[in-house]
With several copies, the nearest count.
Chain A
Amino acid sequence: MINVLCFAHLKEQVGQEQLELARDELTVKELLQELHEQHSIDTDSLIVAVNEEYADVDDVIKSGDTVALIPPVSGG
């Protein structure tokens, strides 16, 4: 099981802070495809963080990892 954290407009769009994916292992790219298909999330401008570090498209996510969907930031 992989937990995916949502922030900002994504949280509002998805309607919850967290999504659960019943998968043991997948790449960042596969994760985004799945989110797009299952939750209609526009993944075009998203960046993925795995365990609080920005991840590459080919990085592998495993069950138990903390994944976060990061829309373009606007702090400061």
Chain B
Amino acid sequence: MERLFIVTDQPISVEEVTKKVVRPEAGAISNFIGTVREYTHGRRTLSLTYEAYQSMAEKQLKRIGEEIKEKWPDAKTAITHRTGDLAISDIAVVIAVSTPHRKDAFRASEYAIERIKQIVPIWKKEHWEDGEEWIGNQLETEAYPEGKPKGEEIYD
């Protein structure tokens, strides 16, 4: 059984993830590839470390695939996320979604990366020239979107 949703400490092959969603019914594949960016808000990143709650993260990726299937029934999704130490330009995540027509592929692929940033237990530590820090809630919003408990609100 092919594994469509993977969290791994090995480098990710775009080709390999993409191949999983190629099929006769599909005419379009949209990939999203997240790479390590050197500058964020003018601050230079030297490297990143990703840590995951691996078993749950894979479950959540699978859940995103199921959500996509509900919204775009003809879509097939594969996602691989990397963990460990990454250098600038290294690939952190590869999403591949195939659909019969292109618009759905773009929409579903974008949906997948938004959801990853919401509900998948993976954390990023940025290493700068003058320090390092675990980054939380990249969406820079206090309220958590649906599908995930509401954080402080829930537990207050």
Query: Do A and B have CB atoms closer than 8 angstroms in the complex?
Result: yes
Chain A contact residues, CB within 8 Å of chain B: 5, 7-9, 11-12, 28-29, 32, 43-49, 52, 54-57, 68, 70-76
Q: Which residue of A lies closest to B124 (CB)?
A: A74
Task: Choose among A57, A68, A73 the residue that contacts B120 (Cβ–Cβ < 8 A).
Answer: A73
A52 and B155 contact, CB distance less than 8 A: no
Task: Choose among B51, B59, B117, B154 the residue that contacts A76 (Cβ–Cβ < 8 A).
Answer: B117
Q: Which residue of A lies closest to B56 (CB)?
A: A52
**In the bound complex, CA of A70 to CA of B59 (Å):** 15
Task: Choose among A5, A12, A56, A74 the residue that contacts B53 (Cβ–Cβ < 8 A).
Answer: A5
A52 and B124 contact, CB distance less than 8 A: no
Q: B-side binding surface: helix, strand, loop or mixed? A: mixed
A52 and B138 contact, CB distance less than 8 A: no
B51 and A7 contact, CB distance less than 8 A: yes
A49 and B148 contact, CB distance less than 8 A: no
Count of A-B residue pairs with CB < 8 Å: 103
How many B residues touch the partner, as a band?
Answer: 35 or more
A44 and B152 contact, CB distance less than 8 A: yes
B123 and A56 contact, CB distance less than 8 A: no
* Given A8-B51, A73-B121, A75-B120, residue A56 in contact with residue B154 (CB < 8 A): yes
Chain A residues positioned under 8 Å from B108 (CB to CB): none
A70 and B121 contact, CB distance less than 8 A: yes
